[in-house]
């Protein structure tokens, strides 16, 4: 490495004395270049965030040049976003009703009951669910959950596309998100708190539910908020199974188009770039981005706070 | 851990399992509920795969892999264009996302001072990007392609760009974990022998972290291969009747074909979609198996 220029320390030349070691740093211009490249790569992640905002802002300005805010945030059949927000919220709430208990249950088992060996096998099993592509879940909701489960088994008077099936399947999809973050939070609770609870005569269930869970509640909340953000932003399940009609009623048996479903439909259609319909896509996209951004920020800040607690 | 703490832990575990108080009805019901929530996902997965495989069963033949899609004769529809398209997209996604992701991760782990506000901003930003809806990355890719002056929608480059943006945060986060797992002593040893930070990173840290990085990258790609939402926005067609032959070639992807076949309500098309789903799941399973193999085979524990 440094044999050519600096000269290593050690016995050398005629005097028989060791040469003075070279202690100064060798100039390495290439390393400065490499470091600069690395910094640029890291900065790119920030550039992506600003890129998203920049990419959205122009079409959004064009859009609001023609359509006033009051029409956008209304029930207007063509440009109103309100029915889409209602649809998104309904599907998300159904998804959370499925995913919160099941995700927390799985997290509590993994963190409080499973042995280390069992956890090593069981955790990937739960995470398998996250590996299935969402378009496959969408197909499953449309061709199995609605016709076979809801119409066949439960005999419900339900539409061919409906908020219920989409929400249920979406819930299954976000179980791993909630389970894995909540498990991290539960595992972070100090062992001493469990020992204290057990020493007072509580059994395992009481310890889990009344001591560990409350102690980890902020982390669990962060997990739920992140799961919610995932559910709101998920596209293919709702594009296939939740319906393609704007619908601001609250009937879960009817089809409801969501924000992402609307975006997929508009983008898949033949709208020329720059047209009003095409810009609507960006306006809805901006709203979606802002909603998920706020939720993610809430989740990140909760996690930060709970990490400092112990 | 001290002996006292270890003993305390053991005693805790014994107390927790051995006492009969855990055998009350309430506790057992609770435990059953936990078991249920753990295995609910597996049950759904089994139902999903079984129902799809049964629907798609009549279509498992060579034509599925070698034919193009056909609306006129859906019973012979194949997914040659989609499978090849997905592979092309993965190739270009990897070329774009992997070097950038590793470089960013190496900077953040080895060079950056975590207390500087600028680096903290990058950190929070990364966590946020990992949770941005995938469809939004499609909008970004559309804007970038327009900016670069590519007018054609639905080409390999556009699709790969959207997917690369999507998995970049995933790759950065997993690479950082892999790099962080390399023990401090290896770096200290190298630095003490006079290597610079970069030499240490390049010759010691990165080689030790390769299995972790490879696993993370493959898992990122397996997420990208199943994504359809950003591809819809980028304008990929649901059906293309030729093989992709370059960066600028029109292309479709397997998830796109599944989406477009499913949205049409003809039964034969659904059947073809079921078969395509099985092909897609096999591809994803293959990638995951590869990741697990690499992790088990090469990962060292220090």
ipTM for the whole complex: 0.87
Distance (Å, whole) CA B140 – CA A268: 16
Residue B225: the pLDDT is 93
Distance (Å, whole) CA B235 – CA A210: 51
CA distance, residue A251 to nearest chain B CA (Å)? 23
Tokens matching residue B71: 């609306």
Residue B15: the pLDDT is 62
Looking at per-residue pLDDT, the higher value among A187 and B268 belongs to A187
Asked whether residue A142 falls in the same domain as residue A59, the answer is no
The whole-chain average pLDDT of chain B stands at 86
- Of the residues B23, B79, B113, B136, the best mutation for testing chain A's interface (the one with the most A CB atoms within 10 Å of its CB) is B136
Rounded to the nearest angstrom, the gap between the alpha carbon of residue B241 and the centroid of all alpha carbons in its chain is 28
Sign, Cα dihedral of A105, A111, A114, A120: positive
B215 with B148: CB under 8 angstroms? Answer: no
Statement: the pTM of the whole predicted model exceeds 0.80 = yes
Asked whether residue A89 falls in the same domain as residue A58, the answer is no
Please report which confidence band the pLDDT of residue B1 belongs to, taking 50, 70 and 90 as the band edges. low
Say yes or no: B191 contacts chain A, CB-CB below 8 A: no
B236 with B251: CB under 8 angstroms? Answer: yes
Cα dihedral: B213, A111, A102, A128 (round 10): 30
What is the average per-residue pLDDT within B278-292?
90
Asked whether residue A109 falls in the same domain as residue A162, the answer is yes
Say yes or no: A108 contacts chain B, CB-CB below 8 A: yes
Tokens matching residue B200: 């240490």
What is the average per-residue pLDDT within B208-215?
90
Domain assignment of residue A10, yes or no: no
Asked whether residue A138 falls in the same domain as residue A240, the answer is yes
Architecture (CATH level 2) of domain B64-298: Orthogonal Bundle (1.10)
Asked whether residue A43 falls in the same domain as residue A122, the answer is no
Domain assignment of residue A91, yes or no: yes
pLDDT tens by residue, B62-108: 777 777 777 667 777 778 888 999 999 999 999 999 999 999 999 99
Residue B16: the pLDDT is 65
Tokens matching residue A270: 């033949």
Angle between helix axes B25-56 and A116-131 (nearest 10 degrees) is 40
Are the beta carbons of A139 and B273 separated by less than 8 Å? yes
CA distance, residue A293 to nearest chain B CA (Å)? 7
Maximal C-alpha separation, chain A: 101
Say yes or no: A182 contacts chain B, CB-CB below 8 A: no
CA angle, B206 then B210 then B212, to 5°? 115
Asked whether residue A41 falls in the same domain as residue A125, the answer is no
What is the average per-residue pLDDT within B29-57?
90
**Domain finish residue from A6, A40, A66:** A66
Please report which confidence band the pLDDT of residue B296 belongs to, taking 50, 70 and 90 as the band edges. confident
Domain assignment of residue A2, yes or no: no
Distance (Å, whole) CA A259 – CA B260: 19
Percent of chain B whose pLDDT exceeds 70: 93
Domain that holds residue A33: 28-66
Domain assignment of residue A5, yes or no: no
* Burial B221-232, CB ≥16 within 10 A → b, else e: bbbbbbbbbbbb
Domain assignment of residue A95, yes or no: yes
Are the beta carbons of A45 and B169 separated by less than 8 Å? yes
Asked whether residue A169 falls in the same domain as residue A80, the answer is yes
Distance (Å, whole) CA A264 – CA A240: 10
The number of distinct structural domains making up chain A is 2
Asked whether residue A55 falls in the same domain as residue A193, the answer is no
Asked whether residue A55 falls in the same domain as residue A190, the answer is no
For A252, half-sphere exposure in the C-beta direction (CA atoms, 13 angstrom radius) is 15
Residue B283: the pLDDT is 92
B253 with B159: CB under 8 angstroms? Answer: yes
What is the average per-residue pLDDT within B290-302?
79
Are the beta carbons of A144 and B47 separated by less than 8 Å? yes
Asked whether residue A59 falls in the same domain as residue A130, the answer is no
Chain A, window 206-265: residues with a beta carbon less than 8 angstroms from a chain B beta carbon? 207, 209, 226, 229-230, 232-236, 239-240, 260, 263-264
Q: What is the mean pLDDT of each run of 10 residues along chain A (310 residues)?
A: 44 60 73 90 89 88 86 82 92 96 95 89 85 93 87 80 92 94 91 91 90 91 93 93 84 87 85 81 92 92 69
Sign, Cα dihedral of A66, A69, A72, A76: negative
Say yes or no: A101 contacts chain B, CB-CB below 8 A: yes
Residue B138 reports pLDDT greater than 80: yes
What is the average per-residue pLDDT within B214-238?
90
Look up the CATH number of the domain holding residue A202.
1.10.3720.10
Asked whether residue A57 falls in the same domain as residue A123, the answer is no
Asked whether residue A81 falls in the same domain as residue A224, the answer is yes
B30 with B256: CB under 8 angstroms? Answer: no
B203 with B182: CB under 8 angstroms? Answer: no
Domain assignment of residue A49, yes or no: yes
Domain assignment of residue A186, yes or no: yes
């Amino acid at each position: 490495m440094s044999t050519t220029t600096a000269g290593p320390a050690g016995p050398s030349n005629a005097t028989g004395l060791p040469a003075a070691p070279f202690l100064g740093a060798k100039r390495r211009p290439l390393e400065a270049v490499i470091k600069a490249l690395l910094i640029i790569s890291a900065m790119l992640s920030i550039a992506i965030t600003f890129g998203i905002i920049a990419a959205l802002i122009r079409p959004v300005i064009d859009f609001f040049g023609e359509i006033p805010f009051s029409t956008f945030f209304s029930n207007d059949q063509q440009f109103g976003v309100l029915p889409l927000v209602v649809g998104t919220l309904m599907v998300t709430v159904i998804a959370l009703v499925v995913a919160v208990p099941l995700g927390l249950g799985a997290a509590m088992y993994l963190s409080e009951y499973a042995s280390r060996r069992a956890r090593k096998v069981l955790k990937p099993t739960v995470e398998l669910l996250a590996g299935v592509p969402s378009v496959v879940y969408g197909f499953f909701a449309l061709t199995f959950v609605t016709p076979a489960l809801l119409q066949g088994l439960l005999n419900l008077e339900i539409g061919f596309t409906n908020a219920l099936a989409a929400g249920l399947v979406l819930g299954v999809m976000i179980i791993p998100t909630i389970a894995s973050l909540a498990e991290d939070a539960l595992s972070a609770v100090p062992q001493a708190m469990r020992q204290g609870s057990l020493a007072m005569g509580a059994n395992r269930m009481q310890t889990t539910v009344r001591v560990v869970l409350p102690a980890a509640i902020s982390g669990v909340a962060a997990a739920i908020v992140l799961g919610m953000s995932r559910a709101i932003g998920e596209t293919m399940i709702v594009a296939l199974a939740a319906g393609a009609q704007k619908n601001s009623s609250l009937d879960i048996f009817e089809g409801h188009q969501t924000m992402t479903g609307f975006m997929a439909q508009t983008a898949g259609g033949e709208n020329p770039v720059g047209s009003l319909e095409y810009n609507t896509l960006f306006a809805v996209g901006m709203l979606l981005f802002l909603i998920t951004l706020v939720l993610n920020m809430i989740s990140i800040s909760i996690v930060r706070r709970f990490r400092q607690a112990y | 851990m001290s002996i006292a703490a270890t003993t305390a832990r053991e005693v805790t575990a014994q107390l927790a399992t051995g006492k009969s108080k855990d055998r009350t009805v309430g506790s057992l019901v609770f435990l059953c509920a936990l078991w249920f929530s753990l295995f609910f996902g597996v049950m759904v997965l089994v139902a999903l795969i079984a129902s799809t495989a049964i629907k798609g069963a009549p279509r498992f033949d060579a034509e599925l892999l070698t034919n193009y899609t056909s609306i006129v004769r859906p019973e012979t529809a194949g997914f040659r264009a989609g499978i090849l398209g997905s592979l092309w997209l993965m190739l270009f996604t990897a070329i774009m996302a992997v070097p950038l992701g590793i470089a960013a991760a190496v900077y953040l782990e080895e060079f950056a001072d975590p207390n500087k506000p600028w680096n903290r901003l990058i950190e929070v930003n990364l966590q946020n990007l990992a949770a941005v809806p995938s469809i939004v990355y499609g909008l970004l890719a559309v804007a970038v392609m327009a900016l670069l002056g590519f007018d054609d929608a639905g080409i390999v480059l556009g699709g790969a760009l959207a997917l690369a943006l999507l998995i970049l945060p995933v790759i950065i986060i997993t690479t950082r974990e892999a790099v962080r797992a390399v023990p401090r002593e290896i770096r200290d040893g190298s630095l003490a022998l006079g290597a610079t930070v970069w030499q240490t990173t390049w010759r010691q840290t990165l080689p030790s972290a390769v299995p972790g990085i490879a696993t993370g990258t493959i898992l990122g790609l397996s997420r990208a291969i199943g994504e359809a939402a950003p591809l819809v926005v980028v304008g990929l067609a649901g059906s293309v009747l030729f093989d992709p032959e370059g960066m600028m070639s029109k292309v479709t992807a397997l998830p796109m074909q599944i989406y477009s076949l499913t949205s049409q309500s003809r039964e034969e098309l659904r059947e073809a979609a079921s078969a395509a789903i099985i092909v897609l799941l096999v591809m994803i399973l293959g990638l995951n198996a590869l990741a697990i193999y690499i992790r088990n085979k090469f990962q060292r524990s220090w």
